[in-house]
Each structure stands twice: as C-alpha cells, then as structure tokens.
Amino acid sequence: DAGVIQSPRHEVTEMGQEVTLRCKPISGHNSLFWYRQTMMRGLELLIYFNNNVPIDDSGMPEDRFSAKMPNASFSTLKIQPSEPRDSAVYFCASSPTGGSGEQYFGPGTRLTVT
C-alpha cells in the first residue's frame, strides 16, 4: 500500500502565480480531506469530499482557493492568485469506506509564496 500520495512535495512561487497541489488517496478510500498547517493557526480543515462530492468547504479561506475531485483516485487544490500568507504545509488525508473515522495523512506539500 503506497499510502496517500501528494505532489509536489515542495513548491516555491511568486505572489500572484497560480499554484496547483495534487493528491492521490489510498485505493478504496471514499473520503478525502484537505488540511493546512501553519504555526499560527495549527491544522485547519479546508474542504472534504465523500465519494468525489464536496461536502463541506466552509474552511476554504477565500475564493482564491478551489478544490476538485474528478474521480476516486485524484484531487487538486488550486490557489489563484497566490499570496505570501498562503505559505503553509498542505496535507491531504483519506479515510476508508464506511466512515470508520481513521484519516491517513499524506506527506504534505510545503508551499512558499514570495
């Protein structure tokens, strides 16, 4: 089992540029979550999907953020345009079918916006 896969692992971009983060959940998991981690705000839920359908996006900070899950094995989180305050580690997590609760985190993408 490869676990949750995220790419890229590190991203450095300039303010105003578009950033796309990618996630492949564990095969067979039907729930996918995007979290953001900063020193100031800790770990925050941004959005989550069940069976590829967005359920709660109330954590998405602004309209500059959008997320999609076109199929069961792929999700993207896009920031357009990016700002320095978006600098953080972005984690994707997936959870098994049936809502057992255990969420397995990917290695994260460290985003730096200069």
Partner 1 sequence: GENVEQHPSTLSVQEGDSAVIKCTYSDSASNYFPWYKQELGKRPQLIIDIRSNVGEKKDQRIAVTLNKTAKHFSLHITETQPEDSAVYFCAASSGGGADGLTFGKGTHLIIQP
Q: Which of residues 33-92 bind partner 1 (CB under 8 A)?
A: 33, 35, 42-45, 48, 50, 55-56, 58-59, 91
Instruction: Tell me the closest approach of the beta carbon of residue 57 to partner 1, in angstroms.
Output: 10
Q: Judging by DSSP bridges, how do beta strands 109-113 and 88-96 pair with one another?
A: antiparallel
**How buried is residue 37: exposed, middle or buried, by Cβ count under 10 Å (0-12/13-18/19+)?**
middle
* Residue 87 or 103 having the CB closest to partner 1: 103
The position carrying tokens 């792929």 is 74
Residue among 25 and 106 whose Cβ is closer to partner 1: 106
One-letter amino acid for residue 51 of the chain: N
CB–CB of 31/48 below 8 Å? yes
Residues that bind partner 1 (CB under 8 A): 31, 33, 35, 42-45, 48, 50, 55-56, 58-59, 91, 95, 99-108
